[in-house]
Amino acid sequence: MRPARYWTTTSQLGFATSSRFGQVVGTLGLEPRHFALLRAVRAADGQSQQAVAERLQIPPSTMVSLVDHLEKQGLLQRRPHSTDRRTRQLHLTGRGAQVLGEAIKLGDELEQQICAGLSSAERDKLLALLRRVAANIGLSQDTLPDRGTGRRPQPSTGGRGGASDG
């Protein structure tokens, strides 16, 4: 039997980690694309909606829908620009910062599970190599990894949910 090809392994890993991350942030009522948007706004609070969309490579119509949803959830706020009334600046709300912090914590816990058995040096090396591979296919760190399914997850009613193998 031939060993698995690189693309098979990376495809499996990408799908599995993306699915599990979606499940983890889903316990907070988020999708991975919501997480990416909240993180981008936190990194540059007050940046225009258009600038954030361009950085994450989100089409304008999708961006409007995402921001509408997060604004209705009380996680983001649009504010008019002080000198350009056509421009809306995005700001993380206090609740948005809290939910993002919890999502990051859950993501860190998932990373611990995924990288169990690897030393810190091995994890750093793996990440560096994966970033090089991503750059080879034109994927920047700021690109939105998941444009989403269109389905909105519901927050869990119990404790924090974990990822399942099924």
Q: In this predicted model, what pLDDT tens digit does every residue of 5-37 receive, in sequence order? A: 878 888 898 899 999 999 999 999 999 999 999
* pLDDT at site 157: 53
Q: pLDDT-based confidence at 78, cuts 50/70/90?
A: very high
* pLDDT at site 138: 83
* pLDDT at site 148: 46
In tens, the pLDDT along 82-131 reads: 888 788 899 999 999 999 999 999 999 999 999 999 999 999 999 999 88
The secondary structure of the chain, three-state, reads CCCCCHHHHHHHHHHHHHHHHHHHHHCCCCCHHHHHHHHHHHHCCCCEHHHHHHHHCCCHHHHHHHHHHHHHCCCEEEEECCCCCCCEEEEECHHHHHHHHHHHHHHHHHHHHHCCCCCHHHHHHHHHHHHHHHHHCCCCCCCCCCCCCCCCCCCCCCCCCCCCCC
The chain-wide mean pLDDT, for the chain, equals 84
Domain 11-136 has CATH 1.10.10.10: yes
Q: pLDDT-based confidence at 161, cuts 50/70/90?
A: very low
Q: How far apart are CA 70 and CA 43, in angstroms?
A: 17
CB 41 within 8 A of CB 76: yes
* Across 17-21, 76-80, 148-152, 161-165, least confident range: 161-165
Residue 74 phi, psi dihedral angles, 5° rounding:
80, 20
Instruction: Please say if the pLDDT value at position 57 is more than 80.
Output: yes
Instruction: Please say if the pLDDT value at position 143 is more than 90.
Output: no
* pLDDT at site 154: 52
